[in-house]
Structure 1
Amino acid sequence: MRAEGGRFVVAGGSRLRAWGRAFGGLMLVLAALTGCAGPYQYYEGTGIHDATATEVAGGWENVEGTRVVLHKEGTALLEKLDGQGFDFEDGWRLSGRGTWELTDDDGGQVVRLALTARTRWESRSPVTVTDTSTPEPPSTYSWSFSVDRDSHDALKLFFFYGDPDIGNTYVMTRTTGS
């Protein structure tokens, strides 16, 4: 700081303004980047609170050949169930036995499914014996399926998979005759 004509002048004042502008620009960039977060990152649930465990029990499938049977007593059979979230990218599909329960929180109901005994696994894409890019799948695993209703009030179960910015959903619907 120095005195000039009865005023105090901050030395390097223009430099301080330049740093202030740079900092402000950086904050704008960070705000824009965090604004790009996908739908999954802000997902707060379906708001469904009226499903019963009896209604959820039964057979479920998806278009990829996955089949899940949720027994009334809380046990489950799984066939070719893919990983949730980024685990989907690993390409494995698990089959085996497990347990399930219907839970409820502020955002809505969720079916928590746990594979407790893997009986087999396969890959969504052909894997050669020398291919080391596919990691060994887990021997136990847990999924959280959101509970929702379609336009006909029928239940459907889903979870998000892959990059959360994209918002891909893995949807399970009732098996025919269930």
Structure 2
Amino acid sequence: MKITKGNALRGLRGYGAVVALLIALTGCLAGPGQYYEGTGVHDATAAEAAGTWESTEGTAMTLRPDGTAAVTRLDGWDFDFDEGWRLSGKGTWALTDTPAGQRLRLELTARTKVDRRADATMPPPDGGDPPTAYTWRFYVDRDDRRELVLFFHFGDPDAGNAYVMTRKPTATTAP
């Protein structure tokens, strides 16, 4: 086939359509955590959220009814998790509501200790110390028994990793 100006333009149009299709399909491959907006839970109360919550490796947070909090070895959320620091200290907390569901905002206002995870993948971007104040945003969800579960996504959003906090059983709720 002889290449003419018309044939070349038709070929470029076809190539452009393929590129546009690939771009559209790549957008569909975004991970589950990347565009997560919420759980749809809107019925949690502050009284229900108050208490002690735990995760792995000694991580805990105590949410008091007066809005104050104590944090022990809590990892950073989102990409901050990769830096490997774990903060302990005092702060405040509050439930918020968005159209996509409730969130719990936890603010560390007085850091008392810093630990590091052995599996940390990168140093802090500024090469300095971990933050002295920090804010986490937990999603509020309910499990199969309708009890609250708090979580946030961490690391690469395409991976959809969830850092889950569960309520520590009390003497009256323990089996």
Identify the TM-score tier after normalising by the shorter chain. Answer: 0.7 to 0.9
- Give me the TM-score of the superposition, normalised by structure 2: 0.88
Q: Distance in 1 between matches of 2:36 and 2:139?
A: 11
Runs of 4+ in 1 over 4 A off after TM superposition: none
Q: Alignment RMSD, CA only? A: 1.6
CA deviation profile, 1:40-92 (whole Å, cap 9, x unmatched): 12323111111100110111001232110011111110000001011111111
Stretches of structure 2 that go unaligned for 5 or more consecutive residues are none
Q: In the alignment, does 2:146 pair up with 1:157? A: no
Q: Distance in 1 between matches of 2:146 and 2:91?
A: 28
Asked if the contact 2:49/2:63 (under 8 Å) is kept, the reply is yes
Q: 2:56 aligns with which of 50, 63, 68?
A: 63
Q: In the alignment, does 2:90 pair up with 1:97? A: yes
SS in structure 2 at match of 1:27 = helix
- Whichever residue aligns with residue 25 of structure 2, its letter is A
SS in structure 2 at match of 1:156 = strand
Asked if the contact 2:84/2:119 (under 8 Å) is kept, the reply is no
Bigger radius of gyration among the two: 1
Q: Percent identity?
A: 52
Q: 1:34 aligns with which of 27, 34, 57?
A: 27
SS in structure 2 at match of 1:112 = strand
Stretches of structure 1 that go unaligned for 5 or more consecutive residues are 1-10, 128-132
Q: Distance in 2 between matches of 1:123 and 1:37?
A: 30
Q: In the alignment, does 2:128 pair up with 1:118? A: no
Asked if the contact 2:39/2:139 (under 8 Å) is kept, the reply is yes
Q: Distance in 2 between matches of 1:88 and 1:53?
A: 27
SS in structure 2 at match of 1:78 = strand
Q: Map 1:73-152 onto structure 2 (within 5 A).
A: 73-125=66-118, 134-135=123-124, 136-152=129-145
Q: 1:166 aligns with which of 146, 159, 170?
A: 159
Q: In the alignment, does 2:19 pair up with 1:21? A: no
Q: Distance in 2 between matches of 1:38 and 1:126?
A: 23
- Give me the TM-score of the superposition, normalised by structure 1: 0.87
SS in structure 1 at match of 2:112 = strand
SS in structure 1 at match of 2:10 = helix
- Whichever residue aligns with residue 79 of structure 2, its letter is F
- Whichever residue aligns with residue 134 of structure 1, its letter is P
| Structure 1 residue 32: Cα displacement | 1.6
Match of 1:176 in 2: 169
- Whichever residue aligns with residue 164 of structure 1, its letter is P
CA deviation profile, 1:94-134 (whole Å, cap 9, x unmatched): 0111111001111111000111111111101189xxxxx53
